[in-house]
Amino acid sequence: MPFDFINTHLQARQQDALLRKRHVVQHATARTITVNNKTYLNFASNDYLGFGDEAVNLNDSHALGSHSSALVTGYQAQQKALEQYLCDQFGYGAGMLFNSGFSANSSVIKALFQDKAAAQNSAIFQDKLNHASLIDGAMHSNAALVRFNHNDMNHLRSRLEKSKAQNKLIISEGVFSMDGDTAPLKELLALAKQHNAWLMIDDAHGFGALGKTGLGSCEAFITQTLPDILVITFGKAVASSGACVLGSKQFIDYMLQFNRDYTYSTAMSPLMASHTLARIKNIKTADDKRDKLNANIALFKQLAKSHNIAVMESNTAIQPIVLGCAEQTLQAADKLKQQGIWLTAIRPPTVAHNTSRLRITLTAAHTEQDITHLVKHLVGAVA
């Protein structure tokens, strides 16, 4: 029969405890989530500052739809204002908005190496733990893909020294989404300069939560040297959706010519652009929320250590506990749900084989009592 492989693959996923399912969420905040009429403490949200619980108040209303592609009639003043604000904050020459971070990451890489002749003399150097969108973009480009060990600058240096490519692009995340650790940006910038390479950083999980004013992993480098390409995602600490790619004016002009996702997608909603800009301006002064988030991270790490819970080395809101076995991880997540705690069991192919984990995400909305309750029941769940 045609397409018998579908049922075969679904059965295999089920047997390996890897079958993915969706849950209808009736209500969610950064602190709680309601599913099937039951409310849980939510430790799976990316709304790190808790802004998703707050309304954005604008003096005027904007159209919900942009009506067309940005290269037809969809590029409106609200989108331009959001791009310009981010350019001004970082010092980049230009930016362009996308409806998702995945689209931004993958399409930029594909478009940059769309010329087959140039791509034959190009190489993309990716951290092995980079997000799927970055890996997919490289795999579907015409350039060679070279992987280096996670945050291993000696390995990256060796790869760069051996490469004969004329056009080298190094790609990393600012904060790694499944491990919670941060990239060594200073060393990455130095290696890029030394080897005449470009550096691209996806700061989805850093923007808003890190930096003195919430500008993320790269804020400390604004007065020095920034990555050649910076991707800012709005679906995490900004509690919105979409993304912005920042770079030189020449680079963005090139993207406008050759980025198929941008050319053939309806542009970001003007309403979404306006709300996102207002939220980012709020984030700039949200020192109290960042302080609370950092205090919650410190409290969780302290309590986990005192209860001998093996948490990965991370100082960000992402605090993973690797259990290894996918079935065991699912069982642990179910035990926690019985105690009113919602946690996601992260399994392959999202993470490597035998590294299934509970991915705990902390927010500024959590209370000390919430975190104490979490750690208390983690002890029994991961035993």
Active site residues: 46, 131, 173, 177, 202, 205, 236
Q: Hey, what are 345's tokens? A: 């069991």
Q: Which residues of 124-154 are buried (b: 16+ CB within 10 A; e: fewer)?
A: bbbbebbbebbbbbbeebebbebbbeebebe
SS3 of 285, please?
A: coil
Neighbour order of strands in the sheet with 38-42: 25-28, 32-35, 38-42, 341-342
pLDDT in tens, the chain (383 residues): 899 999 999 999 999 999 999 999 999 999 999 999 999 999 999 999 999 888 777 766 677 888 899 999 989 999 999 999 999 999 999 999 999 999 999 999 999 999 999 999 999 999 999 999 999 999 999 999 999 999 999 999 999 999 999 999 999 999 999 999 999 999 999 999 999 999 999 999 999 999 999 999 999 999 999 999 999 999 999 999 999 999 999 999 999 999 999 999 999 999 999 999 999 999 999 999 999 999 999 999 999 999 999 999 999 999 999 999 999 999 999 999 999 999 999 999 999 999 999 999 999 999 999 999 999 999 989 97
Residue 190 C-beta-side C-alpha neighbours within 13 Å: 7
What are 258-283's pLDDT values in tens digits?
999 999 999 999 999 999 999 999 99
205 residue type, one letter? H
What are 107-154's pLDDT values in tens digits?
999 999 999 999 999 999 999 999 999 999 999 999 999 999 999 999
